[in-house]
Amino acid sequence: MADRYLSFTGTAPGRFLTHRLGLPRPAPLRRWSADRPDLGGSLLHLTAGQSALALAPVLARTGLGTDDTTGRPAAVVLDASGVRDVEGLSEVHAALHPVVRSVAASGRIVVLGAPPDPDDHHQAAAQQALEGFTRSLGKEAGRGITVNLVRLTDADAAESTLRFLLSPKSAYVSGQVIGTGPHRPAAPHDLDRPLAGRTALVTGAARGIGEAVAATLARDGADVVVLDVPAAESDACRVAERLGGVALPLDITAPDAGDRIAEALPDGIDVLVHNAGVTRDRRLVNMPADRWSSVLDVNLASVLRTTDALLAAGALKRGGRIVATASIAGIAGNAGQTNYGASKAGITGLVRSLAPRALAGHGVTVNAVAPGFIETKMTAAVPLLIREAGRRMNSLAQGGLPADVAETTAWLAHPASGAVNGQVVRVCGQSLLGA
């Protein structure tokens, strides 16, 4: 369903009324397209504190130039990794204070920090302060500008993350804190098709967000396997045919689902996307046991079972990626969704526990995306006032698109994203609840 309010605020009467009444004024977001693959402007690189990061070569590969004749950079990167005390935070203010207003619409501000040092409470306090600073700035920036914090120790290891955050692909990702480790995977041979020669399995891919994820991974070169329940086989086949992939009709809650996937794909899987999910909303006092158990089984238990089975069978190749789907409901909670919120919070627990062991034992990273209000057929059926609240209660004052979740998934699935592990990245426009 089209966001008519967003369209209205782009007109002269809409701008006048929203200004006079103090209503949200969402800005149209610049998303990735083949003819507009980058932000189309310059990058301003600033520093606070004494940094040891070799950023210049990495930033030069983002596609953003450094020559700016307009005075309105498309992106600003502030390297604050060397800030170690409260005095150093003054340099953060001094660096960004003069330039925030000049950032172009739908621009990017990325703050680079270091992991808090458990042996230096002054450094830990200053680096943790960057988190509150970044999230607050994200709620102030407006005009479709996103603000994120990346904690890193190695600029090269964080390159895929920086390329994502400094591109139109991250249009609905804001207010996030993303940690990267020291792992340095080899860059793909073809930057436009980084998943070429790799097999990606997407569950619940016959429609909605899953279909968008499958399409984006196919765009990036993956051989896509479209998995969905047998009842959706015709839709799964349609999607697979369009993407040049194959359909796999299978009930992911079946006890032997993992074994059947491994049998169907004897050459192994490079990317496993757990997208299948259901809702059975009702307040707890009115929720029968079957509505509880069906949601927990599809959204959480099946993810645990199939992941365990595929790892045990060696079906996930070294260098592989697991991307699960969490939700804002699992972070902030949602009335009428105790079952759904529990299942999605469980995904976060799975990711944080499994990620270090899967990397150490199998060479596989484990991350999750946590969508907020995404414009789908399901949210189009939500009552008007609740739907409008979902759209407006984030820093970008609008709903996201399935493509926003898909682009974030594709970044986590990227061969060069091996330094990103154990992360739960919210795709919510910086929801004002739980963010």
The Cα–Cα gap between 394 and 348 comes to 21
Active-site entry in 164, 172, 340, 373: 340
The Cα–Cα gap between 108 and 41 comes to 11
pLDDT of residue 379: 76
Using alpha carbons only, give the angle 179, 356, 110 rounded to the nearest 5 degrees. 10
pLDDT of residue 435: 55
pLDDT of residue 37: 93
pLDDT of residue 328: 94
CATH for 199-427, options being 3.30.540.10, 3.90.226.10, 3.40.50.11540, 3.40.50.720: 3.40.50.720
The Cα–Cα gap between 407 and 403 comes to 6
Global confidence as pTM: 0.95
Coil, strand or helix: which one is 16?
helix
Q: Is 360 exposed, middle or buried (0-12, 13-18, 19+ CB in 10 A)?
A: exposed
- Cα→Cα distances 198→46, 260, 315, Å: 37, 20, 13
Give CATH superfamily name and number for 31-179: NAD(P)-binding Rossmann-like Domain (3.40.50.720)
Dihedral over Cα of 190, 192, 194, 195: its sign: negative
pLDDT of residue 102: 96
5 is catalytic: no
Q: What is the DSSP letter of 110?
A: E
Q: What residue spans define the domains of the chain?
A: 31-179, 199-427
Q: How far apart are the first and last CA of the chain?
A: 26
Of the candidates 35, 36, 110, 37, the one whose C-alpha atom is nearest the C-alpha of residue 73 is 110
pLDDT of residue 383: 75
pLDDT of residue 398: 95
The tens-digit pLDDT sequence of the chain (435 residues) is 678 878 878 888 888 787 777 878 889 999 999 999 999 999 999 999 999 899 999 999 888 877 666 679 999 999 999 999 999 999 999 999 999 999 999 999 999 999 999 999 999 999 999 999 999 999 999 999 999 999 999 999 999 999 999 999 999 999 999 999 987 667 777 888 999 999 999 999 999 999 999 999 999 999 999 999 999 999 999 999 999 999 999 999 999 999 999 999 999 999 999 999 999 999 999 999 999 999 999 999 999 999 999 999 999 999 999 999 999 999 999 899 999 999 999 999 999 999 999 999 999 999 999 999 999 887 777 777 778 788 899 999 999 999 999 999 999 999 999 999 999 999 999 998 765
- Residue pair 257/297 in contact (Cβ under 8 Å)? The answer is no
| 31-179 and 199-427 share one fold | yes
pLDDT of residue 185: 66
